[in-house]
Chain A
């Protein structure tokens, strides 16, 4: 980004913040960013959050709700007219009635939840509004990976993409695309068909990387996987090219010049508006990470996840909240890192899961703390799909979890139909979080398949169906069960309801 652009962006942001501050004088609002890579459980988290608050779920650690000060939580028409509404109702219906996980996020959506509460402090009770608008913003995790592209040129982006594709862990998946690039001359005259062909191959390669067996995360540009409303437009029809590091400026009319132009267009028309309208105006942030999915796929997925998270966290603007500064620029003053799907583990392993996550996002934590933001790390399950059990096997007692696997999941050579309940012992997480990463370094010479097979024997996580909700004698459905969702809420906005 050149300085002028930066200045312009900052000015626009400041203006937007000023308007926000003015409207906050009436009823304060809090913009909670829910971030996470694809399939980390953002939609489920938001659905569970709203459901528990609206229906008064069991939230013992969330002080405002537990002490009865939270009078009411209602859904409101959302403030941004140009952004689609988060489809809360159908997500809840999917979870509760059909017992399936809601559709993954395809585009940005927003929801406003208004909390009416009674403050515990005398001053706030007398002079405060007793109301807080909670703006929840949901968007595909893939888009996050675009943020680092803002500071890169097309040549840098190409070099990076090629370096990644040629790494041992990906070379095989990227084979087709790499072969195609080798044939293309960047300085040939531009043709739309070539661009389309290259771009399609690139997209196929990215999509293959994301499959369960590889579970890789570091796959920019994000819109290639989750195009949203811009599908087919030139801004989404480009691909990295093999450009020598010392190459001169691209001549106009060449394929390379066309690609460069489109990359810039992607930055202006896709990334920057997203960053400006959604990402840079947050007060609180929760970063959801599906550590188990990566663990399942092996050490390569883990180091890839670490790299991707590192890139994403650079885009945050953490900082201490101060009255004057918050008028001009919003800073994220609390960041929560949550390892989702903790219900796939017995509670004994939760501490270890937290330790692994803490190690994964260590750089981000350090950065945020340095800037003065509060940071916490928890293992969480926004919707708890399992119960716990002990299984006796031989001399050992295994801490197991009980749930209904999704149809098609396999374990121990058995395929489940989605109706049988089973007890699963998923294996122990390593006590030392470092070992998850060390394995990746020491075994990088081996073929990726053999590693993931070796891993498979130590750890295996199945995906479970959402829980069956109990009903009370009066026929009321109870709220969605969860693990530590209340603690997350307390950390994220408990202080604003104090």
Chain B
């Protein structure tokens, strides 16, 4: 204890007053202000402040080396070598035949290589973006939990950067920017970001999920074959995940999409138990009611709900901010609407 309040001599900063025309004084009201070249960065000063840290999140498990990965790398390498050899042989053959054909082949190969490179780059960037969103969500959640204004400010700046090229978020970004210029606590700042910047996106996300769920339940209700439903459900769910990710700023490529899907499935598995508690009863009830009208109808509602639930999981995975000010959408919200639409369809048909 005693060490804490008797810091080393040169650490004590004495009170001092300065005239404003002093060149040393720099106003920092505007967070966007860049420091001048001769001025020290503010952040450097603040690094060494010790903060009570919460134990690291338990879910970030350590990644060991998987043998499956070794097999994958080895086989993949061999296949690409074989492919390279085949291309090489092909081009040699082409040269052997006529020169221009050979050059043409090289051109085509280069084009393919370029395309591949571009594709890889895009996939890589997509993965990076998704990783960044994940990281942002965790960081904001932590900042809100610890009520750490500095961390919140830092990560909210990143969040604003994420939506920089999205004109529809201009109003939210501007609002949030002006909030950040004021003295507001960390937790409150994250909540404000959620309300002003993310809430309109949430609204749209809800609409996307709702539309997709409606489509699925409709198609299931009228489709002649089970296989059609199955394909439809699969297709719609993939579309929802991709759309939501794009909405929240993810723009995933194929790999990113696969990763997202994996996350969504994990999320579903993790929250499935909890969600069952709050909505299983109503689902079964709703199903029972609908099923009494017609078996197909009930199936439609069930499929629609499944889509809605996957959509909700996808929202939780794609959203760059944690749910703090609001709770995320619930399956029950989609329930009523779904029954209504299938019911109406039934009457029409």
- Using a CB–CB distance below 8 Å, which chain A residues touch chain B? 58, 60-61, 66-67, 342, 347-348, 350, 384, 387-393, 396-398, 400, 402, 411-412, 414, 420-428, 430-432, 434-435, 438, 457-460, 462, 483-484, 487
Residues of A within 8 A of B13 (CB): 396, 398, 425, 427-428
* Distance of A422 Cα from B13 Cα, bound (Å): 18
A350 touches B15 (CB 8 A): no
Known contacts A398-B13, A425-B13; is A430 also within 8 Å of B5 by CB?
yes
B16 touches A432 (CB 8 A): no
* Distance of A391 Cα from B18 Cα, bound (Å): 8
* Distance of A348 Cα from B26 Cα, bound (Å): 16
* Distance of A108 Cα from B275 Cα, bound (Å): 55
A387 touches B15 (CB 8 A): no
Residues of B within 8 A of A424 (CB): 15-18
Residues of A within 8 A of B40 (CB): 392, 397
Residues of B within 8 A of A421 (CB): 20
Known contacts A389-B26, A435-B5; is A61 also within 8 Å of B192 by CB?
yes
A391 touches B25 (CB 8 A): yes
A389 touches B25 (CB 8 A): yes
Tell me the minimal C-beta distance from A224 to chain B in angstroms: 35
With A396-B13, A398-B16, A424-B16 already in contact, 4 other A-B pairs whose C-beta atoms are closer than 8 Å: A58-B182, A423-B18, A431-B5, A487-B184
* Distance of A453 Cα from B260 Cα, bound (Å): 63
Residues of A within 8 A of B18 (CB): 391, 400, 422-425
Number of interface residues of B (CB under 8 A): 35
A393 touches B17 (CB 8 A): no
B28 lies within 8 A of chain A by Cβ: yes
* Distance of A484 Cα from B192 Cα, bound (Å): 13
B28 touches A392 (CB 8 A): no
* Distance of A383 Cα from B258 Cα, bound (Å): 53
Residues of A within 8 A of B4 (CB): 431-432, 435
5 contacts between A and B (CB under 8 A): A61-B184, A392-B40, A398-B16, A427-B13, A432-B4
- Pick from A397, A423, A434, A487: contact of B17, CB below 8 A: A423
Residues of B within 8 A of A434 (CB): 1, 5
- Pick from B24, B185, B191: contact of A484, CB below 8 A: B185
A487 touches B188 (CB 8 A): yes
* Distance of A406 Cα from B314 Cα, bound (Å): 57
* Distance of A397 Cα from B13 Cα, bound (Å): 10
A412 touches B12 (CB 8 A): no
Residues of A within 8 A of B185 (CB): 484, 487
* Those 7 A-B pairs whose CB atoms lie nearest each other, nearest first: A435-B5, A460-B15, A427-B15, A411-B17, A423-B18, A392-B24, A483-B183
Tell me the minimal C-beta distance from B333 to chain A in angstroms: 14
B195 lies within 8 A of chain A by Cβ: yes
Which of the listed residues B4, B5, B45 has the most CB atoms from chain A within 10 Å of its own CB? B5
Residues of A within 8 A of B59 (CB): none
Tell me the minimal C-beta distance from B30 to chain A in angstroms: 10
Known contacts A61-B188, A390-B28; is A423 also within 8 Å of B15 by CB?
no
B5 touches A392 (CB 8 A): no
Residue of B nearest to A342 (CB): B183
Residues of A within 8 A of B46 (CB): 348
Residue of B nearest to A436 (CB): B5
* Distance of A422 Cα from B18 Cα, bound (Å): 6
Residues of B within 8 A of A422 (CB): 17-20
Residues of A within 8 A of B1 (CB): 432, 434
* Distance of A449 Cα from B22 Cα, bound (Å): 33
Residues of B within 8 A of A387 (CB): 27, 29
Residues of A within 8 A of B65 (CB): none
* Distance of A402 Cα from B22 Cα, bound (Å): 12
Residues of B within 8 A of A67 (CB): 195
Residues of B within 8 A of A388 (CB): 27-29
- Interface set, chain B 17-44, CB cutoff 8 A to A: 17-20, 22, 24-29, 39-40, 42
* Distance of A390 Cα from B22 Cα, bound (Å): 12
B132 lies within 8 A of chain A by Cβ: no
Known contacts A392-B40, A421-B20, A434-B1; is A459 also within 8 Å of B25 by CB?
no
B5 touches A390 (CB 8 A): no
**Chain B 172-194 interface 0/1 with A at a Cβ cutoff of 8 Å (1 = within):** 00010001001111001001100
B29 touches A390 (CB 8 A): no
A347 touches B149 (CB 8 A): yes
Residue of A nearest to B42 (CB): A390
B53 lies within 8 A of chain A by Cβ: no
Tell me the minimal C-beta distance from B200 to chain A in angstroms: 13
B97 lies within 8 A of chain A by Cβ: no
Residue of B nearest to A380 (CB): B183
Tell me the minimal C-beta distance from A345 to chain B in angstroms: 10
Known contacts A398-B13, A428-B13, A458-B15; is A423 also within 8 Å of B5 by CB?
no
* Distance of A434 Cα from B45 Cα, bound (Å): 25
Residues of B within 8 A of A396 (CB): 13, 45
B14 lies within 8 A of chain A by Cβ: yes
A350 touches B27 (CB 8 A): no
- Interface set, chain B 234-258, CB cutoff 8 A to A: none
Residue of B nearest to A411 (CB): B17
B16 touches A425 (CB 8 A): yes
- Pick from B12, B22, B175: contact of A423, CB below 8 A: B22
Residue of B nearest to A438 (CB): B5
Residue of B nearest to A388 (CB): B28
* Distance of A390 Cα from B36 Cα, bound (Å): 12
Residue of A nearest to B18 (CB): A423
Residues of A within 8 A of B14 (CB): 427, 457-458
* Distance of A421 Cα from B17 Cα, bound (Å): 10
Residues of A within 8 A of B12 (CB): 428, 458
* Distance of A420 Cα from B42 Cα, bound (Å): 26
* Distance of A387 Cα from B191 Cα, bound (Å): 24
* Distance of A426 Cα from B18 Cα, bound (Å): 11
* Distance of A348 Cα from B186 Cα, bound (Å): 12
B27 touches A66 (CB 8 A): no
* Distance of A420 Cα from B5 Cα, bound (Å): 35
Residues of A within 8 A of B195 (CB): 66-67
Tell me the minimal C-beta distance from A338 to chain B in angstroms: 13
Residues of A within 8 A of B24 (CB): 391-393
B20 touches A484 (CB 8 A): no
- Pick from B39, B42, B192: contact of A60, CB below 8 A: B192
Residue of B nearest to A421 (CB): B20
- Pick from B28, B42, B183: contact of A350, CB below 8 A: B183
* Distance of A390 Cα from B44 Cα, bound (Å): 13
Which of the listed residues B14, B15, B22, B40 has the most CB atoms from chain A within 10 Å of its own CB? B15
B17 touches A414 (CB 8 A): yes
- Pick from A66, A389, A397: contact of B45, CB below 8 A: A397
* Distance of A459 Cα from B4 Cα, bound (Å): 17
Residue of A nearest to B50 (CB): A431
Which of the listed residues A58, A61, A391, A412 has the most CB atoms from chain B within 10 Å of its own CB? A61
Residues of B within 8 A of A487 (CB): 184-185, 188
Residues of B within 8 A of A398 (CB): 13, 16
Residue of A nearest to B20 (CB): A421
**Chain B 278-298 interface 0/1 with A at a Cβ cutoff of 8 Å (1 = within):** 000000000000000000000
- Pick from B15, B20, B27, B182: contact of A411, CB below 8 A: B15
